[in-house]
Amino acid sequence: MSDDYREHGLEFPDTFLFGSATASYQIEGAAREDGRGASIWDTFSRQPGAVLHGHTGDVACDHYHRLDDDLDLMQRLGLQAYRFSIAWPRIQAEGSGPANEKGVAFYSRLVDGLLARGITPIATLYHWDLPQTLEDAGGWAARDTALRFGDYAQLMGEALGDRVAVWTTLNEPWCSAYLGYGAGVHAPGVTDRLATLRAVHHLNLAHGLGIQALRASVTKPDVQYSATLNPQVARGVDDTSAEAIRRIDALGNRAFTGPMLRGEYPADLLADTASITDWSFVEPGDLEQIHQPLDVLGVNYYSTMRVRLWNGVGERASADGHGASRGTAWPGAAEEIEFLPTDGPHTDMGWNIDPEAFEDLLVSLHAEYDLPLMVTENGAAFPDVADADGHVADADRIDYLRQHLTAVHRAMGRGADIVGYQVWSLMDNFEWAYGYTKRFGIVRVDYDSLERTPKDSAQWYARLIRERAIPA
């Protein structure tokens, strides 16, 4: 066994689903076509300084117009599954009312195209592009947004529920709440600690209402229901780190797993945030609504943090991986915790590469919650250099994937029930506040011509899928 996680020849079972993942705002474009309404990312990306170089998702990868070509590309790579998200504003321009037929038709074509090519559709209802009209009425800090999400889930269950194999309610609600309403580095760019915690609860409520709406409308008999979380993995450096890790775990992880998987908010979370709120926005019956049975838990993993309690001397280190901000992603803990720079190597995002932590995370999640797990995102941005033909020899990305797939395999060997792996991302795309400056794709996108060119990592991944084993 290699200590550096650079294994090869490790075999995966035939039932294991290898695929790739994308998100609607990051790839679709067609921002003002066929009845699509404005999203919070349309608005946020136009705020001066919010997104690098003023980039927007107006065109992105133009996936909306290149759907069939992209489906053919997935087939050529041998993908067994494709995790995509549905743009809520494409279905309901203002976040309520009847479904927009042209929007539904697009996703119906997508699902049918996947099935025709033998690719399992994994649909995410919400990957951060909230209809702007709902934000104007309070966004995720408002209870009504959760209720509207339940209605939206019902519409999608009715439209695609005879064909989609796996339904995911939310992608990374941690980012939606803490980066969107706390740090302000994601849409809608709010920096309000109370709004952040209100958003946490209403996202949880939306999840529960969404699961119930799907179960009431989906007709496919062997369907699975899920949520995708991005667990915050914190590592210690001294004897104060255990308390820092506890606080990070409460805010970053158990604020979601507690209600979703246990039916309760952790007592220490409520105590940690008591100076901000008494959580009276949690109404009677909410926790029962949120705590719905799940078939699989989606796990997104990229990096770790190094934390300790701040001693109050000097400048407090704040290298939590999300850049400088006007607010905080850690309400109730921001002034007490130091986020120290991580040891390298690092990706182009500045995120450390730690496959061992990934292995341990998967094992611990399975032990804690006894649910099948699917790796719904894992991948890396690197400063890819294309030759004259657009070809990218991305050895660093192949190395990253090799290490993290080794970690998945080792976690399975330790008893973790892991049913699939979706590499992030199928193609280079709009990387949120970084615009088009960071490339995560296994397929290169030329942003002038929009031509797709599989990188060496795509060919390596295609071989992995064919052979069911990590290539040499």
Amino acid, single-letter form, for residue 194: L
- The token pair that represents 234 in the structure block: 């914190």
The pLDDT value recorded for residue 335 is: 87
Query: What's residue 33's pLDDT?
Result: 98
Alpha-carbon dihedral of residues 99, 102, 104, 108, nearest 10 degrees? 160
172: region left, alpha or beta (phi > 0 left; psi from -120 to 50 alpha):
left
Q: Which of 169, 163, 36, 166 is nearest to 111 (CA)?
A: 163
For this structure, is 172 an active site residue?
Answer: yes
Domains of the chain (ranges; CATH) run 17-467 (3.20.20.80)
pLDDT tens for 447-456 read 999 999 999 9
pTM: 0.98
Neighbours of 96 (CB within 10 A): 15
As a whole number of Å, the end-to-end CA separation of the chain is: 14
Contact of 352 with 344, CB cutoff 8 Å? yes
Question: What pLDDT is recorded for position 326?
Answer: 86
What confidence score (pLDDT) does residue 325 get?
85
Work out whether strand 234-236 and strand 296-300 pair parallel, antiparallel, or are unpaired.
unpaired
Active-site residue, from 7, 135, 359, 377:
377
Residues recorded for the chain: 472
377 given a catalytic annotation? yes
pLDDT at position 324, please? 80
| pLDDT for the residue 1 | 66
Distance CA 245, CA 224 (A): 32
Helix (H) or strand (E) holding 339: strand 337-340
Answer for the pair 139, 188: CB distance below 8 angstroms, yes or no.
yes
Backbone angles phi, psi at 358, to 5 degrees: -65, -50
Which residue shows structure tokens 């400063």? Answer: 383
- Please give the chain's pLDDT, 472 residues, in tens: 678 999 999 999 999 999 999 999 999 999 999 999 999 999 999 999 999 999 999 999 999 999 999 999 999 999 999 999 999 999 999 999 999 999 999 999 999 999 999 999 999 999 999 999 999 999 999 999 999 999 999 999 999 999 999 999 999 999 999 999 999 999 999 999 999 999 999 999 999 999 999 999 999 999 999 999 999 999 999 999 999 999 999 999 999 999 999 999 999 999 999 999 999 999 999 999 999 999 999 999 999 999 999 999 988 999 898 888 889 999 999 889 999 999 999 999 999 999 999 999 999 999 999 999 999 999 999 999 999 999 999 999 999 999 999 999 999 999 999 999 999 999 999 999 999 999 999 999 999 999 999 999 999 999 999 999 999 8
Catalytic residue among 7, 28, 135, 172: 172
